[in-house]
Structure 1
């Protein structure tokens, strides 16, 4: 692949990722979801995993510690998340969804699925398999740290 082709494909990938996030943020705002896309990612991941530490959650949502701390602080103020002392490490906490947080995830899950469906419209199963293969290859290429 030439440098020019590589540049075009990288641009398309970046442009598409930004467009998906912008579209989702717009729908969250217009739908008056009461949270941001990043806050949703935290709530969704907490609903799918029990007792995550902040560092484990940071890896799942691809956020640095200071950014994630701000998101968690907001979600705690909204009573969607609570910090509980870690049983083996007094210096750290585990994050847990509250009843309000669980209710918020249940309320928003179908709405978020609708947002996703808009992006995936006109794609078939073969498209998804090829897309998944390509994205996993790119990810694996970059995991090697070399």
Structure 2
């Protein structure tokens, strides 16, 4: 593969990511919910897993701790999530959805599913498996870069 081809793959991944984020942002805005796709990932994790520590959120969403902390701050400001003290450890917090956060998830989830279906239209389960395998392989080519990071 030529150097130009490698560069095109990176550009294609970046363009696709930006396009998908814009579509999700538009869907959220059209639904009247002021969140970003990054905030959605944390909101969705909390909805499915329940109250979680910040570390569990970072691991479960493949985001680094400072990014998760900023997202939690934003969700808390929007009254969609809240920090609660651990019962046995007053130094640590658990993060949980508020009732408004649960309602936002229930409103947005069907729209998210529609976008996921639209994105995969014309592709098969084996296409998905192959893409996942390829992306995992690329990440494995940089093991030292993954240490200490939570990004996919």
Category of TM-score, reference length = shorter chain:
0.7 to 0.9
**Structure 2: gaps spanning 5 or more residues:** 146-152
Structure 1 pair 141–120 and aligned structure 2 pair: CA distance change class (3 A): same
Q: Hey, what's the Cα distance between the residues in 1 that align with 2:35 and 2:18?
A: 19
**What do the CA deviations read for 1:78-134 (whole angstroms, capped 9, x no partner)?**
332121112454222111112322222122111111122221112122222211221
Tell me: higher relative CO, structure 1 or 2? Use CA pairs within 8 A at least 6 residues apart: 2
* Unaligned ranges ≥5, structure 1: none
The Cα shift of 1:50 comes to: 3.3
Q: Which moved more, 1:116-125 or 1:58-67?
A: 58-67
TM normalised by structure 2 equals 0.79
Shift in Å at residue 13 of structure 1?
1.4
Measure, in 1, the Cα distance between the counterparts of 2:67 and 2:130: 33
Provide closer, same or farther for how the CA distance between residues 70 and 125 of structure 1 changes in structure 2, counting only shifts above 3 A. closer
Q: CA RMSD in A?
A: 2.2
- How has the CA–CA distance of structure 1 residues 99 and 31 changed in structure 2, closer, same or farther, with 3 Å as cutoff? closer
Q: Which residue of 2 aligns with 1:77?
A: 77
- 1:37-56, aligned counterparts within 5 Å? 37-56=37-56
